[in-house]
């Protein structure tokens, strides 16, 4: 299985500041035939199911605020929140779908 | 609106059987995959398996193969996750979620079903 490792495990950022979460896969999730990275990002707020934010590593799901962006390729990926809002407090997960589905361990984002 | 609605919370004893459900609406149920994801208390997300209700093609995570059974009844747009003999370690929140392909992202997710197994 592809192991997904997120960093940091937890993060505290001031309102209005940038938050950056990293995700590293144990092998490349870039499919050469279509040049797509098989990676998604989710947000899970307390007591709620996860919500899809990003797929194909950088395609924002409809309705997701544009302060959320995804980047990276191959084995290294980043979720960036450009200006942190109070409602962004959550746990964030990356997930690869290149092979047997696996998730990262999650990154808890809090307000400083 | 695309929606997945799961059955309610369950409290069971070790050794008992259980079947929980996930009903889809607002889309063609037979055209998308439905996956199941476990979240143990205070922990992360684990993919269990996935089914294509159109033809019941089912894939399991190696970690869950033989431990659970995934099925679907397309006539009532409902997918199921079942256990034949629960263990205390099965205590968790279980989510169903829709996927565009057997290996893909999940959107949307059901609200979750909390399963508690305790003697």
Exposed / middle / buried, residue B28 (Cβ in 10 Å: 0-12, 13-18, 19+): exposed
Q: Please indicate if any CB of chain A lies within 8 Å of the CB of B26.
A: no
- CB of A99 less than 8 A from some CB of B: yes
Whether B99 has a pLDDT exceeding 90, the answer reads: yes
A chain contacts of residue B111, beta-carbon cutoff 8 Å: 49
Place of tokens 């992202």: B105
Q: How many CB atoms lie within 10 A of CB B74?
A: 15
Query: How does pLDDT run across A39-70, given as a tens digit for each residue?
Result: 999 999 999 999 999 999 999 999 999 999 99
pLDDT at A76 (0 to 100):
98
pLDDT confidence of residue B31:
96
| Closest CA relative to residue A5, chosen from A109, A82, A95 | A95
Say yes or no to pLDDT of B103 above 90. Answer: no
Q: How confident is the model at residue A112 (pLDDT cuts 50, 70, 90)?
A: very high
pLDDT at residue B102 is higher than 90 = no
Cβ–Cβ contact A34 with B under 8 A: no
Residue-wise DSSP of B22-47: EEEESS-GGGSEEEEEEE-TT--EEE
Residues of chain B contacting A104 with CB distance shorter than 8 Å: 44
Q: In A, which residues are within 8 Å of B61 by CB distance?
A: 100-101
pLDDT digits (tens, 9 = 90+) for B11-69: 999 999 999 999 999 999 999 999 999 999 999 999 999 999 999 999 999 999 999 99
In whole angstroms, what is the distance from residue B106 CA to residue A53 CA? 10
């Amino acid at each position: 299985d592809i192991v997904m490792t997120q960093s940091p495990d937890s993060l505290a950022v001031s309102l209005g500041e940038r938050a950056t979460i990293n995700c590293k896969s144990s092998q490349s999730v870039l499919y050469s035939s279509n040049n797509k990275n098989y990676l998604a990002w989710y947000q899970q707020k307390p007591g709620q199911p996860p919500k899809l934010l990003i797929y194909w590593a950088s395609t924002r799901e409809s309705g997701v605020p544009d302060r959320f962006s995804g980047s990276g390729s191959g084995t290294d990926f980043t979720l960036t929140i450009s200006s942190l809002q109070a409602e962004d407090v959550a746990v964030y997960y990356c997930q690869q779908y290149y092979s047997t589905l696996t998730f990262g361990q999650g990154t808890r984002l809090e307000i400083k | 609106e695309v929606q997945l609605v799961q059955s309610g919370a369950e409290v069971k004893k070790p050794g008992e059987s259980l079947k929980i459900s996930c009903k889809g609406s607002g889309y063609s149920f037979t055209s998308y995959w439905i996956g199941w994801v476990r979240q143990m208390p205070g922990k992360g997300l684990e993919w269990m398996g996935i089914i294509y209700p159109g033809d019941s093609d089912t894939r399991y995570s190696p970690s869950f193969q033989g431990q659970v059974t995934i099925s679907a009844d397309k006539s009532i747009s409902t997918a199921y996750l079942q256990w034949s003999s629960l263990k205390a370690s099965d205590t968790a929140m279980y989510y169903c979620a829709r996927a565009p392909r057997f290996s893909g992202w999940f959107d949307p997710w059901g609200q979750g079903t909390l399963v508690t197994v305790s003697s």
